[in-house]
Chains A and B, each alone.
Chain A
Amino acid sequence: MNSFTLTQATAADEAVRDLTSHDGAAYLGGGTNLVDLMKYNLTRPTHLTSLGLLPLADITSLPDGGLRLGALATNADTAWHPEVEKRYPLLSQTILAGATPQLRNAATNGGNLNQRTRCYYFYDLATPCNKREPGTGCSALTGPNRVCGVLGTSESCIATHPSDMCVALAALEAVVRVQGPDGERTIKFEDYHRLPGDQPEADNTLKAGELVTAIDLPEEGYADHFTYLKLRDRSSYAFALVSVAVGLKMSGQTIEKARFAVGGVAHKPWRDQEAEKMLEGQTASPDLFRKVAAKVFAEAKGYGEGSLHNSFKIELGKRAIVRALKQAVEMEYEVNPNAFLNSNP
């Protein structure tokens, strides 16, 4: 790790001032991703603005019926918060599907949004990577790319966003609150992360110096019909190959409202609002789910066949959507690789 200086800020505006007054500075939340990246020499900040003392770890109800998740609340405290468990079980289940207990106890909600991709080549300093070093090329286009994306990719980057939590936040239509040198603003979750285009080095739409202060959840939490289906190479402590977060409002067998997002397939949690509309007002059926799944992956592009390459994700993704929708409707699990996730004591 390179040397750096460190300041412990005690308020959001102080943190923004501290960061913007140092060249090459970065915010330090729980450190579970940033410190790791620094140890690999992938990022080399010369100054860290530590956020640990900021009063942003609370989870509070909002006047409009929603819930505000403080950016500094840990992933574990969020997943196990009584209001989150009761009203947003999809979020709780999704957080618990990621990482390990130790990581979830240190990792923060803001940090979860801002974690970097786990693309092999981003982590391998010996290979070209446009995200790590713009202009050097993308090694994943032709090399083994099992973990990479099939939707919204570009010729400069096919990396995926690794978060589970963010897949649920996309389906829940969360709003991200940020504070920066020009004051506060909010960003709709679908606008927070971006597609790689010709600027894969930028993961999100934060401006220089901006700090995530909270994530607001709208009132609707889909607590009666939800699921997070995560498909991965081993049943615990692995990133998703494909995951689907679903929230439904049902009236009998009719789907009144549908929101879902797909993880592991794109540079951001992938939401398709046209596909969601195809479900609304319709009777739940496997045929309908298959049509919806086909719509989501209609323009998908695989980058090679076989187990080392990622074209398999297109069929896997379609089937995952069908199964996840079925699970959310029935609230029963035909095949349940994560039995532990479905019991809240």
Chain B
Amino acid sequence: MSLTFLQEPLDKTAPHVVPAQSVTLHVNGQARTIQIAPWTSLLDALREYLDLTGTKKGCDHGQCGACTVLVDGKRINSCLALATVYQGKQIQTIEGLGTEDNLSPLQQAFVDHDAFQCGYCTPGQICSAQGLINEGRCKTVDEVREHMSGNLCRCGAYTNILSAVMEVLHDGEAVVDNGVLITIPAQPTKAVS
């Protein structure tokens, strides 16, 4: 995927009393060394220093989920993570999930289900959904809704996002019609004793 930047990405920090440190991050299978200050968030490191602008900055306070990335296969908010302490971890962003010619199953499902409007929350939604699938804890529509609650979509594309996630989660076997799941039984309300 080729992207054109209006501005060259930063290659050095602003002058400051705290010197930049050399930090090596493993992102999408590649080791990348950058010079950053301790307060650089993982989100800013990805976007401003590594040109990986697929990950989005929404609220920058861990509330909207637009910045969701996978660290060792687990989804986190990269805006609340200080990049320095993520050395040695395997970081995966939306750019690492698939390519333009070979979309990941979730990326393809989001296209097929029209699971976005403006698209700003989409990379976070897809990384979060990938984390949900990696966790292997959710089966039903209610469970998926709850476990996607860390990702806001201000366009309100939730219905189709849910359909896309359910399809991939059930390997294409879930049938979701207008947000209503038809083939997977609803959650029982009795507690497991």
Contacts and interface: CB of A to CB of B under 8 A. Distances in A.
Contact of A5 (B38, B41, B61, B85): B38
A101 B135 contact: yes
B187 interface: yes
Contact of B85 (A50, A76, A332): A50
Given A103-B150, A345-B139, A1 B39 contact: yes
A36 B82 CA distance: 11
B21 to A, nearest CB: 8
A236 interface: yes
Contacts of B146: 236, 338, 340
A344 B135 CA distance: 13
A4 B39 contact: yes
Interface residues of B, number: 44
A5 B18 contact: yes
B153 to A, nearest CB: 14
Given A4-B38, A236-B149, A102 B128 contact: yes
Interface in A291-345: 331-333, 336, 338-340, 342-345
Interface string B29-60: 00000000111010000000000000000001
A3 B18 contact: yes
A342 B192 contact: yes
B29 to A, nearest CB: 21
B68 A102 contact: yes
A60 interface: no
Chain A's interface size range is 35 or more
Given A1-B39, A76-B74, A102-B68, A36 B142 contact: no
A39 interface: yes
A255 interface: no
A32 B80 contact: yes
Contacts of A39: 60-61
Nearest to B89: A52
Contacts of B85: 6, 8, 28, 31, 50, 52
A106 B150 contact: no
Given A101-B128, A345-B139, A106 B76 contact: yes
A331 B191 contact: yes
A283 interface: no
Contacts of B132: 101
A206 interface: no
A343 B68 contact: no
B97 interface: no
Contacts of A224: 193
Nearest to B140: A340
A338 B143 CA distance: 9
A100 interface: yes
Given A31-B85, A39-B61, 18 more contacts: A6-B82, A32-B62, A36-B80, A40-B61, A48-B82, A80-B137, A100-B149, A101-B75, A101-B135, A102-B75, A102-B76, A331-B191, A331-B193, A338-B146, A340-B146, A340-B187, A342-B192, A343-B188
